[in-house]
Amino acid sequence: MATDTSPQYRPVPPPPDFHPEISLSQSPTHDGLHFWQFMISGSIAGSVEHMAMFPVDTLKTRMQALGASCSVQPVGVRQALGSILKLEGPSGLYRGIAAMGLGAGPAHAVYFSVYELSKQILSRGDPNNSMAHAASGVVATVTSDAVFTPMDMVKQRLQLKSSPYKGVADCVQRVRMEEGIGAFYASYRTTVIMNAPFTAVHFATYEAAKRGLTEVSPDTANDDRLAVHATAGAVAGALAAAVTTPLDVVKTQLQCQGVCGCDRFTSGSIGNVIQTIVKKDGYRGLMRGWIPRMLFHAPAAAICWSTYEASKTFFQQLRNQESSCQV
């Protein structure tokens, strides 16, 4: 009787943790959400935040912009608001909002998605690691500022009194033709230097305040979740805004230079701008607009964080519903 001597192959069973249907790009993160869901949540949060608080941002820009041909006089929030309403009407408070809409959504999508991924990597499973939260915030802001800075420059030039630009497209075209592409990023270095400590203080304070508020009343933490996020965000935004106001004044000067009588700087260095401001207005000039800046960032941060967390909760509930239907 002939015997089959050909080699016999047996299929090798796959390892128990092998899942061919799951790819790296589709795997959920520490919150059970995907990268694109963080991007959508961040985009919604950023757009709602900046659109809601835009009039206050206009006041800040007007107070910080110093004219080369006019004497510098202290301008308060009420005086700036009254001047805009009297000379331009309510629409003057919203001039440049289209540029904000074009920049805020994509920038915040990058901002929050990079923050969540960095926090997942740097925290190493420790949700109370404040250093990881601060470092993640710095990484996120450096990345998102590259997206937002050009539109922020356009927005601030449109916000100026007697702005020579007809709109976003006109401003972009004229700046590109007259000053070159580099003008869109003239303040990028200052923005990063400002936003790095701003974001570090913001995120560390936000996470600490959120944790503290939750510990005060742990039984009602889930019921008051949005209130906790809003309160923690407001505290973090106000503190970070106050600390970084001088650099924000420098950023406004660089972005508005040469427009509507604002000073033009030859070197564009932070030191040169600070010297010009101090020479013209004293050290108080470095704190111009600090009140509307805090009035902007406190509620803006509350709106942003509560909207962001609400969007995340929506996606988490959607995921749970899909999971329950598959069971």
User: Please, what is the average pLDDT of the chain?
Assistant: 82
**What is the band of 58 on the pLDDT scale with cuts at 50, 70, 90?**
very high
User: In this structure, how many other beta carbons lie within 10 angstroms of the beta carbon of residue 253?
Assistant: 26
98, 47 in Cβ contact below 8 A? no
pTM attached to this predicted model? 0.74
Q: pLDDT digits over 105-161, tens only?
A: 899 889 888 888 898 889 887 877 878 888 888 888 889 999 999 999 999 999 998
Bigger pLDDT: 246 or 7?
A: 246
Q: Convert the pLDDT of each residue in 278-296 to its tens digit.
A: 888 889 889 988 999 998 9
Return the half-sphere exposure (C-beta side, CA atoms, 13 A cut-off) of residue 202.
28
Count the neighbouring beta carbons within 10 Å of the beta carbon of residue 151: 22
Distances (CA, A) of 106 to 44, 45, 102, 145, 183: 10, 11, 8, 11, 20
Q: Tens of pLDDT along 237-260?
A: 899 999 899 999 999 999 988 887
